[in-house]
Structure 1
Amino acid sequence: MAAARGGRVRAPSGTRERGRGLVSAPRQDPLRDPRFFADPYPAYDRLREGCPVQRVPTGSGGHSAYLITGHPEARAAFTDPRLSKDTARFFADRPSDRDLHPAVSRTMLTSDPPAHTRQRRVATPLFTAGRVRELRPYLTRVVDGLMAAWRPGTEVDLVAELAVPLPVTVVCELLGVPESDRATLTGWSHELFDATDTHRVDAASHRIGDYLTHLVETARATPGDGPLHSLLRDCDEGGLDRDETVSLAALLLVAGHETTTQFIGNAVLALLRHPEAFDRLRRDPDLIPGALDELLRYDSPVGVATFRYSTEDLRIGGFDIPAGFPVLIAPGAANRDPAPFPHPDRLDLDRDATAHLSFGHGIHRCPGAPLARAETEIALRTLLTRFPHTRLAVPEDSLTWRRTRLTRGLTALPLRLA
């Protein structure tokens, strides 16, 4: 099948059958429907079954993008150099009413090699397997401290009392953010992912960018040997200028905790929804590291990856994408593709789910993945060990989800500890 410019889909000879042959592209943005935020998987299934690469409307004003929902197609798109992440280049000759701070809009995530290569070379050593092993005692102390006041028979909000503060504490330590500022920064970060209010997003980006610019400039003017000073030395040695250094700090702050927060919350809810899996990990917590890939696949903390665009006409998995179009890759959909993952709506801890795309793939794969896995593993192990009979404190249908297509996560997860 190939997606035609007019929004129709047909099945040419020589391509594998994945849809119904001829389908219509959605008339409205399928990623802004209120039902999508509550449960995106039926929409993902319809889109993928219709055509795993198709043109869809985005927002208002007649704009559109190519949305990739199939697993092999998404995996190929993540590594295709003809899909650029350089958003500044894409919008250079296109009028826009957006006003994002450069530190947020021009990060490593929005660049191509060689600029991307230079910035990633600085970021990657922060999250190597060896470095994360060194951090594990610290991560355990943070989790223990956050759960110190938890008692059986009481209620807690796992999101507010563990899933948010754990990664926030870790990344803020790395950046030298004072404890008194961390809650404010967390609030700005949440606003940055608000899919319903672009003005609010833009304003939050400036608050974050201005704060981090001041933080970096203050650290440069004050000699020291803390984590932020060490990061600044790495940035200098890596050839990053001031703006690139601030943008790396912004990326570490936002990406360093948002997805981990959703990972922890989604994983706990998935286990509560599947008591057999919960009991299995409760009886043998050493199985938790091996269960993380399936938990990531089952309810990905990243629904739709950040913006790409086609620099030339190309084909992804036999599907045509013309030059000059935005391209959205949906790991949340790809991870539920039944081709690589039979019975994808089932949480199966025995499944080999290592091919999931929750951390991306290729040169833009999340460098912080080892840290996110370690934080989630320690959080789950501590919860299941201390409170092995924990359950939801509210009806499941009363849970609410954040209104953003980029990440998927709960606004709160009330638990009754036991």
Structure 2
Amino acid sequence: MPFEPIAESENTTPEPRMRNDRDGRRLPDFLGLLRRKPQTDLDSLTKRILLPSLPVTDEEMARATHQDKGQKLARQEMWEELARLIEYGDGARLRTPGGENATMLLAYGARADVVAAAEDALHDGVAPDSAGIDALEEMRAEFHDSYACTLIVALTHIDIGWAWRATATERKTVEHEAQFHLHFKRADDILSPFDGVDLDAPSLASAQCALLAGRQRPRLRVADDYEKLIDLDPDSPRHMRALGEALLPARYGSYEMLDLEARRTAARTGEVWGAGGYAWVYLDALALDPGALERLDCEFFIDGLRDIVARKRDQHVINQLSAFCGIVMAPRSGKARLPSGVEVSRARIHDCLDWLLENHMQELHPLIWSQTLLKPGLTPALPSRRALVAKGRQTALRVIAQRFAEDIEDGSSIAFSSSGMYRLPAL
């Protein structure tokens, strides 16, 4: 996916273009939204933003460690050892520094080879070889009492089902949809003997939520299924973010359901996140559908951001929230503008970038900024790593320079450290 240049026109904020993600959803393109000053001015100002940058972060290394472990054990067919790690990860609620569930990363690595082969075949226009999934089914039959082994096979079916749907063409829609439902039905069947609540296994509850896409009436189950998952693992923001996306009108819900469940989630997770549950549920929903702003309680959302930061000071989270406020909530004009009251809410959330930078930012994680720019939500788009890092750094520094342009136009600089942000006067 090539990067589009940021236009250089002055005093314009064009409406975002729309583009399709791999699942066919329409997403806003935020590439043209960072413009209060010409690009040349911003590029000059970014040289006076002194912010340490981490091309490889602790979060990425932790994710890679779990994924690689799962993949290695699967390749060596050490299924009992892998099952033990998955069960331990569930029981201990083992997570990466940024809050990603280790159990799901292990399971992702374990099925990566089979899923990648199926995706490659479908993108080449041919049906996937069934040898990979058949081998996993044989493994499941051998370890039929192990929920962890069953989970790996079920998630493989879910991923292959999505691959069939994502590669459907106008001529082959019926065939691909039939395969999508076939794989989801198989995943549902093999997971049915295992209950995530009874086994205290958030990974199983998460898989049940993933199965909503294949159900005939998911709207009736979405709130209950995600409530079970979040109650099992309230420390994980991923589940709350996924709930918000699932409740959008384009998926299984409505704006009214989204706001109701965000409030209920905040109430149930208050001991962990304060008001943060409300913000987590809305985070990806707002990124994917600006219309969700119409029901948003802006004060509650901002309180939630502050509570998240107070409880989770990890720089991965600080970069996530800063990129959201700086890019996704950037002001719009023209046809992209929503009613004035809604635009006021957008502007207020955008202004939260100031206190996030001034009080909490210590280091830049470029990949988070490039992923937010390219595709808001849980799943990042993946051009080359080098391109992502470079674009993320450029984007972050422009956003920061734009916010503090008046402070550094005199030649002074803005610096960041563990003690906070401070201004260095011009020499």
TM over 0.5: no
Greater RCO (Cα-Cα under 8 Å, separation 6 or more): 1
Q: TM-score range by the shorter chain?
A: under 0.3
Q: Given the two structures, how large is their TM-score scaled by the length of structure 1?
A: 0.26
Q: Given the two structures, how large is their TM-score scaled by the length of structure 2?
A: 0.25
Higher percent of residues as strand: 1
Higher percent of residues as helix: 2
